Amino acid sequence: MKELSLNILDITENSVKAGASLTEIFIDESDEKLVLTIIDNGCGMTDEVLKTVTDPFYTTRTTRKVGMGLPLLKMEAEQTGGRLSITSKHVSADADNHGTTVCAEFNKNHIDFTPLGDVVSTITTLIQGHPDTDFFYRHSFDVKEVSLDTRELRAVLDDVPLNTFEVIKWIEDNLKEQYLEA
Amino acid sequence: MTVRELCLTEDFKPLALPDGEREIKGVYIGDLLSWVMGRASADDAWITIMSNQNIVAVASLADTACIIVAEDVKLESEITDLALSKGVNILSSDKSIYETAVILSKLL
Protein backbone atom coordinates (compact mmCIF):
# COMPACT_ATOMS: atom_id res chain seq x y z
CA MET A 1 0.00 0.00 0.00
CA LYS A 2 1.04 3.57 -0.44
CA GLU A 3 1.54 4.15 3.28
CA LEU A 4 2.08 1.75 6.17
CA SER A 5 -0.71 3.46 8.07
CA LEU A 6 -3.17 2.04 5.51
CA ASN A 7 -1.79 -1.43 6.23
CA ILE A 8 -2.36 -0.80 9.94
CA LEU A 9 -5.98 0.07 9.23
CA ASP A 10 -6.42 -3.05 7.14
CA ILE A 11 -4.80 -5.50 9.57
CA THR A 12 -6.58 -4.02 12.57
CA GLU A 13 -9.87 -4.45 10.76
CA ASN A 14 -9.17 -8.21 10.84
CA SER A 15 -8.74 -8.01 14.62
CA VAL A 16 -12.08 -6.29 15.05
CA LYS A 17 -13.77 -8.83 12.77
CA ALA A 18 -12.23 -11.60 14.90
CA GLY A 19 -14.17 -10.18 17.83
CA ALA A 20 -11.25 -8.60 19.67
CA SER A 21 -12.23 -6.48 22.68
CA LEU A 22 -8.69 -5.05 22.77
CA THR A 23 -6.31 -4.45 19.89
CA GLU A 24 -2.82 -3.16 20.63
CA ILE A 25 -0.80 -1.39 17.97
CA PHE A 26 2.90 -0.87 18.59
CA ILE A 27 5.33 0.93 16.34
CA ASP A 28 8.92 0.68 17.53
CA GLU A 29 11.42 2.72 15.57
CA SER A 30 15.17 3.03 15.66
CA ASP A 31 17.45 4.72 13.12
CA GLU A 32 17.52 1.61 10.96
CA LYS A 33 14.40 -0.37 11.78
CA LEU A 34 10.65 0.01 12.11
CA VAL A 35 8.79 -2.80 13.81
CA LEU A 36 4.99 -2.85 13.60
CA THR A 37 3.25 -5.20 16.02
CA ILE A 38 -0.52 -5.66 16.19
CA ILE A 39 -1.79 -7.84 19.04
CA ASP A 40 -5.45 -8.70 19.48
CA ASN A 41 -7.48 -10.89 21.81
CA GLY A 42 -9.90 -11.97 19.09
CA CYS A 43 -10.92 -15.55 18.33
CA GLY A 44 -7.52 -16.38 16.81
CA MET A 45 -6.82 -18.85 14.04
CA THR A 46 -6.27 -22.57 13.88
CA ASP A 47 -2.89 -23.80 12.60
CA GLU A 48 -4.47 -24.74 9.25
CA VAL A 49 -5.84 -21.23 8.70
CA LEU A 50 -2.61 -19.64 9.93
CA LYS A 51 -0.63 -21.48 7.25
CA THR A 52 -2.77 -20.00 4.51
CA VAL A 53 -3.19 -16.34 5.51
CA THR A 54 -0.22 -15.02 3.53
CA ASP A 55 -1.34 -16.95 0.46
CA PRO A 56 -3.28 -14.35 -1.57
CA PHE A 57 -5.46 -17.01 -3.17
CA TYR A 58 -6.73 -18.47 0.03
CA THR A 59 -7.83 -15.00 1.06
CA THR A 60 -9.17 -13.62 -2.19
CA ARG A 61 -10.85 -16.63 -3.67
CA THR A 62 -12.34 -18.96 -1.10
CA THR A 63 -13.75 -16.90 1.74
CA ARG A 64 -12.75 -13.23 1.40
CA LYS A 65 -12.57 -13.22 5.18
CA VAL A 66 -9.13 -11.68 5.46
CA GLY A 67 -8.41 -9.81 2.25
CA MET A 68 -5.08 -9.04 0.60
CA GLY A 69 -3.84 -7.28 3.74
CA LEU A 70 -1.41 -9.87 5.06
CA PRO A 71 0.06 -10.92 1.68
CA LEU A 72 0.73 -7.25 0.86
CA LEU A 73 2.19 -6.46 4.29
CA LYS A 74 4.49 -9.49 3.99
CA MET A 75 5.68 -8.33 0.58
CA GLU A 76 6.27 -4.77 1.77
CA ALA A 77 8.32 -5.97 4.76
CA GLU A 78 10.34 -8.45 2.69
CA GLN A 79 11.12 -5.96 -0.05
CA THR A 80 13.06 -3.93 2.53
CA GLY A 81 14.94 -7.04 3.66
CA GLY A 82 12.63 -7.37 6.67
CA ARG A 83 10.12 -10.04 7.61
CA LEU A 84 6.57 -10.76 8.70
CA SER A 85 5.66 -13.19 11.45
CA ILE A 86 2.20 -14.19 12.61
CA THR A 87 1.36 -16.21 15.69
CA SER A 88 -2.14 -17.11 16.77
CA LYS A 89 -4.01 -19.11 19.35
CA HIS A 90 -7.53 -20.17 18.46
CA VAL A 91 -10.30 -19.87 21.02
CA SER A 92 -10.93 -23.62 20.74
CA ALA A 93 -7.40 -24.31 22.00
CA ASP A 94 -7.55 -21.97 25.00
CA ALA A 95 -10.80 -20.26 25.91
CA ASP A 96 -9.12 -17.78 28.28
CA ASN A 97 -6.06 -16.84 26.28
CA HIS A 98 -6.54 -16.47 22.54
CA GLY A 99 -5.83 -14.00 19.78
CA THR A 100 -3.42 -13.12 17.02
CA THR A 101 -0.10 -11.27 16.89
CA VAL A 102 1.16 -9.85 13.60
CA CYS A 103 4.69 -8.50 13.59
CA ALA A 104 6.28 -6.80 10.57
CA GLU A 105 9.89 -5.68 10.56
CA PHE A 106 11.11 -3.13 8.04
CA ASN A 107 14.56 -1.79 7.24
CA LYS A 108 13.84 1.91 7.07
CA ASN A 109 16.90 2.78 5.02
CA HIS A 110 15.99 0.46 2.17
CA ILE A 111 14.88 2.42 -0.87
CA ASP A 112 11.67 0.38 -1.17
CA PHE A 113 10.58 1.15 2.41
CA THR A 114 6.93 2.26 2.45
CA PRO A 115 6.58 5.49 4.47
CA LEU A 116 4.48 5.35 7.62
CA GLY A 117 2.10 8.04 6.43
CA ASP A 118 -0.75 9.64 8.36
CA VAL A 119 -0.94 7.38 11.38
CA VAL A 120 -2.97 9.91 13.41
CA SER A 121 -5.81 9.67 10.88
CA THR A 122 -5.55 5.89 10.96
CA ILE A 123 -5.92 5.66 14.72
CA THR A 124 -8.72 8.21 14.74
CA THR A 125 -10.56 6.40 11.95
CA LEU A 126 -10.24 3.09 13.80
CA ILE A 127 -11.71 4.44 17.01
CA GLN A 128 -14.45 6.27 15.16
CA GLY A 129 -15.42 3.13 13.26
CA HIS A 130 -15.28 0.81 16.27
CA PRO A 131 -16.23 2.81 19.37
CA ASP A 132 -17.15 -0.29 21.37
CA THR A 133 -13.80 -2.04 21.18
CA ASP A 134 -10.61 -0.87 22.84
CA PHE A 135 -7.36 0.17 21.22
CA PHE A 136 -3.98 0.77 22.73
CA TYR A 137 -1.56 2.63 20.50
CA ARG A 138 2.09 3.31 21.23
CA HIS A 139 4.64 4.69 18.82
CA SER A 140 8.13 4.82 20.28
CA PHE A 141 11.30 6.19 18.76
CA ASP A 142 14.45 5.95 20.87
CA VAL A 143 13.43 7.36 24.23
CA LYS A 144 10.40 9.34 23.05
CA GLU A 145 6.92 7.97 22.65
CA VAL A 146 3.35 8.79 21.66
CA SER A 147 0.55 6.73 23.14
CA LEU A 148 -3.20 6.50 23.50
CA ASP A 149 -5.35 4.06 25.45
CA THR A 150 -9.11 4.06 24.85
CA ARG A 151 -9.61 2.15 28.15
CA GLU A 152 -8.34 5.23 30.00
CA LEU A 153 -10.58 7.52 27.95
CA ARG A 154 -13.56 5.28 28.57
CA ALA A 155 -12.97 5.40 32.33
CA VAL A 156 -13.04 9.21 32.28
CA LEU A 157 -15.91 9.56 29.79
CA ASP A 158 -18.36 7.29 31.61
CA ASP A 159 -21.13 6.57 29.11
CA VAL A 160 -20.16 9.06 26.42
CA PRO A 161 -19.48 7.02 23.25
CA LEU A 162 -15.93 7.25 21.90
CA ASN A 163 -17.18 8.17 18.44
CA THR A 164 -18.85 11.37 19.67
CA PHE A 165 -17.51 14.20 17.49
CA GLU A 166 -15.91 16.09 20.39
CA VAL A 167 -14.16 12.96 21.67
CA ILE A 168 -12.78 12.02 18.24
CA LYS A 169 -11.62 15.60 17.73
CA TRP A 170 -9.91 15.52 21.13
CA ILE A 171 -8.18 12.23 20.30
CA GLU A 172 -6.95 13.61 17.00
CA ASP A 173 -5.67 16.85 18.55
CA ASN A 174 -4.10 15.00 21.46
CA LEU A 175 -2.17 12.67 19.15
CA LYS A 176 -1.04 15.55 16.94
CA GLU A 177 0.13 17.45 20.01
CA GLN A 178 2.05 14.44 21.32
CA TYR A 179 3.77 14.10 17.93
CA LEU A 180 4.72 17.79 17.94
CA GLU A 181 6.25 17.46 21.39
CA ALA A 182 8.01 14.15 20.74
CA MET B 1 -6.45 -8.39 -30.15
CA THR B 2 -6.26 -11.57 -28.10
CA VAL B 3 -3.45 -12.40 -25.69
CA ARG B 4 -2.36 -15.27 -27.94
CA GLU B 5 -2.12 -12.93 -30.94
CA LEU B 6 0.02 -10.58 -28.86
CA CYS B 7 2.38 -13.49 -28.09
CA LEU B 8 2.87 -14.03 -31.83
CA THR B 9 4.50 -10.61 -32.16
CA GLU B 10 8.26 -10.59 -31.62
CA ASP B 11 8.21 -8.35 -28.53
CA PHE B 12 6.17 -10.57 -26.21
CA LYS B 13 6.92 -14.06 -24.93
CA PRO B 14 4.32 -16.18 -23.12
CA LEU B 15 5.32 -17.29 -19.60
CA ALA B 16 1.88 -18.71 -18.77
CA LEU B 17 -0.98 -18.79 -21.26
CA PRO B 18 -3.92 -20.65 -19.76
CA ASP B 19 -6.50 -18.36 -21.40
CA GLY B 20 -4.98 -17.15 -24.68
CA GLU B 21 -8.30 -16.23 -26.26
CA ARG B 22 -8.83 -13.34 -23.81
CA GLU B 23 -9.39 -10.11 -25.71
CA ILE B 24 -7.19 -7.16 -24.65
CA LYS B 25 -9.25 -3.97 -24.46
CA GLY B 26 -6.94 -1.56 -22.67
CA VAL B 27 -3.64 -1.10 -20.87
CA TYR B 28 -2.80 -0.33 -17.25
CA ILE B 29 0.65 0.34 -15.80
CA GLY B 30 1.59 0.18 -12.13
CA ASP B 31 3.72 -1.54 -9.50
CA LEU B 32 1.98 -0.63 -6.27
CA LEU B 33 -0.26 -3.67 -6.03
CA SER B 34 -2.93 -2.23 -3.74
CA TRP B 35 -3.26 0.69 -6.18
CA VAL B 36 -3.47 -1.55 -9.24
CA MET B 37 -6.08 -3.71 -7.50
CA GLY B 38 -8.49 -0.78 -7.35
CA ARG B 39 -7.68 0.86 -10.67
CA ALA B 40 -6.85 -1.63 -13.39
CA SER B 41 -9.92 -2.41 -15.49
CA ALA B 42 -11.18 -5.80 -16.58
CA ASP B 43 -9.61 -6.89 -19.89
CA ASP B 44 -6.59 -4.59 -19.50
CA ALA B 45 -3.09 -5.74 -20.28
CA TRP B 46 -1.28 -4.82 -17.05
CA ILE B 47 2.39 -3.86 -17.36
CA THR B 48 4.50 -4.18 -14.23
CA ILE B 49 8.00 -5.04 -13.02
CA MET B 50 6.81 -6.75 -9.83
CA SER B 51 7.55 -10.47 -9.65
CA ASN B 52 5.92 -11.58 -6.39
CA GLN B 53 3.15 -14.21 -6.36
CA ASN B 54 0.75 -11.43 -5.33
CA ILE B 55 0.67 -10.18 -8.95
CA VAL B 56 -1.31 -13.31 -9.88
CA ALA B 57 -3.88 -12.54 -7.17
CA VAL B 58 -4.15 -8.89 -8.22
CA ALA B 59 -4.61 -9.82 -11.90
CA SER B 60 -7.26 -12.32 -10.86
CA LEU B 61 -9.11 -9.81 -8.66
CA ALA B 62 -9.00 -7.03 -11.24
CA ASP B 63 -9.81 -9.55 -13.99
CA THR B 64 -7.12 -8.23 -16.33
CA ALA B 65 -6.60 -9.95 -19.69
CA CYS B 66 -2.92 -10.56 -18.93
CA ILE B 67 0.09 -9.45 -16.91
CA ILE B 68 3.05 -8.19 -18.93
CA VAL B 69 6.26 -8.37 -16.94
CA ALA B 70 8.50 -5.78 -18.57
CA GLU B 71 12.23 -4.96 -18.43
CA ASP B 72 13.05 -8.67 -18.83
CA VAL B 73 12.23 -9.31 -15.16
CA LYS B 74 12.45 -13.05 -14.46
CA LEU B 75 9.68 -14.96 -12.70
CA GLU B 76 10.18 -18.04 -10.59
CA SER B 77 8.50 -21.20 -11.86
CA GLU B 78 6.19 -21.31 -8.81
CA ILE B 79 4.63 -18.04 -9.98
CA THR B 80 4.06 -19.20 -13.57
CA ASP B 81 2.68 -22.51 -12.22
CA LEU B 82 0.34 -20.58 -9.94
CA ALA B 83 -0.77 -18.40 -12.89
CA LEU B 84 -1.50 -21.50 -14.98
CA SER B 85 -3.58 -23.03 -12.21
CA LYS B 86 -5.52 -19.79 -11.64
CA GLY B 87 -6.13 -19.05 -15.32
CA VAL B 88 -3.99 -15.89 -15.34
CA ASN B 89 -2.00 -15.09 -18.49
CA ILE B 90 1.55 -13.77 -18.05
CA LEU B 91 3.76 -12.47 -20.84
CA SER B 92 7.29 -11.18 -20.74
CA SER B 93 8.81 -8.21 -22.53
CA ASP B 94 12.50 -7.31 -22.56
CA LYS B 95 11.68 -3.67 -23.35
CA SER B 96 11.25 -0.90 -20.77
CA ILE B 97 7.80 -0.25 -19.39
CA TYR B 98 7.53 2.83 -21.60
CA GLU B 99 8.62 1.02 -24.77
CA THR B 100 6.28 -1.86 -23.98
CA ALA B 101 3.39 0.58 -23.65
CA VAL B 102 4.32 2.29 -26.92
CA ILE B 103 4.34 -1.04 -28.76
CA LEU B 104 0.93 -1.90 -27.28
CA SER B 105 -0.43 1.49 -28.22
CA LYS B 106 0.42 0.77 -31.88
CA LEU B 107 -1.02 -2.75 -31.79
CA LEU B 108 -4.31 -2.15 -30.04
- Domain ranges for chain A, please list them: 4-181
Give the tens place of pLDDT for each residue, B62-95: 999 999 999 999 999 999 999 999 999 999 999 9
* Distance between CA atoms of residues A74 and A52, nearest Å: 13
* CATH superfamily label, A4-181: Histidine kinase-like ATPase, C-terminal domain (3.30.565.10)
Question: Measured between CA atoms, how close is B56 to chain A, in angstroms?
Answer: 9
Choosing among B52, B60, B64, which should be mutated to test the A contact, i.e. which has the most A CBs within 10 A? B52
Each residue's pLDDT tens digit, A105-153: 999 999 999 999 999 999 999 999 999 999 999 999 988 999 999 999 9
pLDDT in tens, B30-57: 999 999 999 999 999 999 999 999 999 9
Is CATH 3.40.1390.20 correct for B3-107?
yes
Partner A contacted by B33 (CB < 8 A): yes
B82 touches chain A (CB under 8 A): yes
Our CA-based measurement puts residue B5 at a distance from the nearest CA of chain A, in whole angstroms, of: 28
Within 8 A of B60 by CB-CB distance, chain A residues are 57, 60-61
The 3-state DSSP composition of chain A as helix, strand, coil percent (nearest 5) reads 40, 25, 35
Chain A: closest CA distance from residue B57 (Å): 6
Residues of chain B found within 8 Å of residue A71, distances taken between Cβ atoms: 54, 57
Q: Is the reported ipTM for this assembly greater than 0.85?
A: no
Burial class (CB in 10 A: 0-12, 13-18, 19+), B8: exposed
- pTM for this structure? 0.89
Strands (E), chain A: 22-29, 33-40, 83-89, 99-107, 134-141, 144-149
Size of interface A-B (CB pairs under 8 A): 35
Enumerate the domain spans of chain B. Answer: 3-107
